[in-house]
Amino acid sequence: MESQGITHSFLPPTALRRIRDETSPADYDLSSFETIMCGAEPLTASVKRWAQDTLGVTVNEAYGQTEANAILGESTALYPSKEGTTGLPYPGHTLAVQQGDERRGIGRGELLIDSSDPVVFIEYWNDPEATSTAFTEDGWLKTGDEAIIQENGYVSIEGRVDDIIITSGYRVSPKEVESKLESHPNVEAVVVGGISDPDRGTVIKAFIVPIDERIL
């Protein structure tokens, strides 16, 4: 970045964590660096804040898939970021959420994309069965991701549908719990999952790596 005068870059959260943990950005001249687009995996609030504060850049989170890329995200030059969300649908994309048989433009459920969208893939090569299961009967692409579409249009990606933990009848996103725990100043990393429980069916369990083991 220093030698080439990089101004804009795409970096996944893992790369940002590696830069944070294994380098000293203050030793480099990063004055040309302006913006990072970040995607491919969940971006925690703590990593985003570190990148913005330490690298002095704008971090725009983005969401997409191989089957439908660059669907939604942040673009702080055009509209404000909302903490806890991944941003707004980019112009030209129509999204919805489906819970059971009900599809809505706002609310929580599996994120769907209108298949008339030009970025949506046509088919899996030589695999008509997989192609068929990727779409609803009326042609919406099923992303496999749990999402919340707010009334103001902002979208929160809550994790994979298969990852959602149902405990005592409530649907809980591991990502949401992980983000809360990672906001603690002494938490280095955290992974949340579900374990069997005879009373609640499943209970939430967190595995935490502390910065200082004496403080937790």
Q: pLDDT tens digits, residue range 136-191? A: 999 999 999 999 999 999 999 988 887 778 887 777 878 778 888 888 888 888 88
Which residue segments constitute the domains of the chain, with CATH numbers given? 1-63 (3.40.50.980), 88-158 (2.30.38.10), 164-216 (3.30.300.30)
E strand segments, 133-177: 140-149, 155-160, 165-167, 170-172
Amino acid 151: pLDDT: 95
pLDDT exceeds 90 at position 119: yes
Amino acid 190: pLDDT: 87
Please write the tens of the pLDDT for every residue from 5-63. Answer: 999 999 999 899 889 988 899 899 999 999 999 998 888 888 899 999 999 999 999 99
User: In Å, how far from its chain's centre is CA 209?
Assistant: 21
For the packed helices 174-182 and 45-55, what is the interaxial angle rounded to 10 degrees? 40
| Average pLDDT of the residues in 195-209 | 85
pLDDT exceeds 80 at position 214: no
Q: In whole angstroms, what is the distance from residue 135 CA to residue 116 CA?
A: 12
Tell me if the pTM is above 0.75: yes
Amino acid 216: pLDDT: 58
Amino acid 106: pLDDT: 94
- Report which of residues 211 and 141 the model is more confident about: 141
CA 174-178-183 angle, 5° bins: 155
Amino acid 101: pLDDT: 85
Which phi and psi (to 5°) does residue 35 adopt? Answer: -145, 140
125-134, 138-147, 198-207, range with the lowest pLDDT: 198-207
Q: In whole angstroms, what is the distance from residue 202 CA to residue 169 CA?
A: 9
